[in-house]
Chain A
Amino acid sequence: MKSSFTSARWNNFFANDYSPLEWTSVKISISSIVCFFSIYILYHRSTQPFPSGICNYINCAYVATDAIRLPVSVLLVLLSLMYISEVQMIFSTLLLFVLAVLIFSLDESNGNPAENGILALVFLAQFSAYLQNRFNAQSNLSKNRMQFSAQFFAAAYTLSAISKLHVSGFAWFTDDAPKFALEVMRVFNSVYVTNGLNEYSHKGLSVASFIIAHPLFTKLILGGSLLLELCAFSLMLNKKTAFVYSFLLLAFHAGIFYTLNIFFPTITLPLIVFFINPLYWLLSGAGYVYATFVTPKVS
């Protein structure tokens, strides 16, 4: 443990390489997130009223029945431990991917389309990297298992931009911009009808009025966010660009949260884990403190 901590250097983060500590931090963070969301779904979704994806062919709700959900949760945790411990990675990543797809499809089949982001796909990306390494030992596993995952993030944002341009074209941020105020009203009033608190209705009206009163500002903000999504392929270019770009995307999500009161944890949290990796910074900081102040210096 000591060598792992002390070998972590702050400036290594931008070296276009991934240290074992970075990889371990990502594994711990991402498996915790997947386990949390999966177990939440297993205990909150018992039927599939709007079957979608794989649930059209098999009854996904079976994994959320009283008798099955506990063993499935335990299996998820065991697989995550195998994954963190780097045991049988081809097997563990593939099985984690299959289980995650099954569980998230169940959530999608409850009227939550596209809300589970790309959580399952990071395991598929890592499975691909390990499989490639199995057949070609020359492949750079430490980079591929991270870079392959980054491609799915870039694709998700790009798809969102393509969808806007395809359906609304440039009008999305020009002529249609004032109509954004109506979406704001809908989202804030949805919170109001949920909890009955008037303040949400007032806040919605206040944000919507601001949007209508400042059309140029709204167009700039919407145009900027579309451009940000369009250029999401920057996440694939190199580590430094991805690090900076992920902050821009986080600012974009913060803006969505402020104006629409919507938070996308299944996209935002993995984004933070893969491109900013706070656990790595935390462990590196702890390692630095340990090496500087705790370990006795040899003169």
Chain B
Amino acid sequence: MKANRHKLILILNLVAVLLLPLLNWFNPIDFYFEDSLAAHQKWFPSFYFFTYLFFKLFFPVANGIILYGMLRFQFKTENRIVFLLILIQSMLLFFVLQTIGFVAASLYVYLLLLISVSVFAWGKYKNEIAKCITVAKESKVITGGFLFTIYITLCLLLPRAYPFAKYTMFNKFSEHTSVFLLRNNQQELVPLNEYSTVDGNHLFELYVATNEQHGFMYLSNEEKEVEQQLVCKELLHSIFADLKKPIPFDSISLNRIDYFLEQNKIASHEKQLYKCAVE
């Protein structure tokens, strides 16, 4: 049990990190802390960068400094590495929680206090941390999850900058989904791989990326026909940017099939989005 103490502590920390975001829907009042740079730009046109930095850094830094101060007082001066580790870990953890939800971050503080005071008692908790680090160093099997924490933090802060990503794979199942397809003037399906290197799945991703690049609403009731025509024109351009062979049709249209659930059955509806003559 003693040898596995560091694993137990790590698991407890991870469970705390993973479970607390579930409480996120408790009506957060934290939009200043959570919102994007663009939102701050709207609220504080002149000082948006400073307000954004202030709200993003305030709690992580405060949490780090408080823990650092407490541990420094407890450990006196002989464990500087431990201080540094605690400071960095607590700041990173707070960054993660704050990015997930400010409520989660504040609940973490309560949980930390609860664990510190009532479960371990402060002195014991202090010893646990020291032992945890010592055992982790001695066993050399586990690496403390340091890169794990840093990577999760950076992925949440920089979700669209490879090698960082939010890994949003199917994180929301929509009320309806769509498939894009090409039809010729006879209204027959034109298989994409006969003429283009773009496949159906990639076409959907291109559609999403193009709409987001323009800032258009898409796949919802708020989408506008004019905007969607512009997007589809660009999509057709992408599809046929590198033609495998000449297109033998007079005209071609980009259609969208929407799938949705109706009385517990799958229903579909096809709509022509854009039609053009083949030059």
On A, residues with C-beta under 8 Å from B are 16, 44, 49-50, 52-54, 56, 101, 104-105, 108, 111-114, 116, 118, 120-121, 124-125, 128, 140, 143-144, 147-148, 151-152, 154-170, 172, 176-183, 185-187, 189-196, 205, 208-209, 212, 230, 233, 236-239, 260, 262
Contact = CB atoms under 8 A, between A and B. Distances in A.
Given A194-B193, A237-B142, A114 B168 contact: yes
Given A104-B163, A121-B163, A125-B147, 20 more contacts: A50-B209, A54-B161, A113-B205, A114-B165, A128-B147, A155-B155, A160-B167, A163-B171, A168-B171, A177-B173, A178-B264, A180-B173, A187-B201, A189-B200, A190-B179, A190-B204, A194-B192, A195-B193, A237-B142, A238-B142
B174 interface: yes
Interface in B21-79: 21-22, 24-25
Contact of B141 (A120, A169, A185, A238): A238
A44 B197 contact: yes
The binding surface of chain A is classed by DSSP as helix
A185 B259 contact: yes
Contact of A205 (B179, B238, B266): B266
A162 B21 contact: yes
A168 B193 contact: no
Interface of B: 7, 10-11, 14, 18, 21-22, 24-25, 100-101, 140-143, 145-148, 151-152, 155-156, 160-182, 189, 191-194, 197, 199-206, 208-210, 213, 238, 257, 259-261, 264-266, 268
Contact of B213 (A50, A164, A187): A50
A111 B161 contact: no
A65 to B, nearest CB: 15
Contacts of B194: 196
A181 B266 contact: yes
A108 B160 CA distance: 9
Contacts of B18: 158, 161-162, 165, 230
A249 to B, nearest CB: 13
A111 B163 contact: no
A222 B194 CA distance: 36
- Central interface residue in B18, B176, B189, B197, by most chain A CB within 10 Å: B18
B266 A209 contact: yes
A160 B142 contact: no
B202 A111 contact: yes
B182 to A, nearest CB: 8
B166 to A, nearest CB: 5
Contacts of A162: 18, 21, 100, 152, 156
B22 A165 contact: yes
Contacts of B199: 190-191, 194
A111 B189 CA distance: 24
A231 B197 CA distance: 38
Contacts of B202: 111-112
Contacts of A159: 152, 155-156, 165-167
Given A140-B140, A166-B101, A196-B191, A185 B163 contact: no
Nearest to A47: B241
Contacts of A209: 266
Contact of B169 (A116, A143, A160): A160
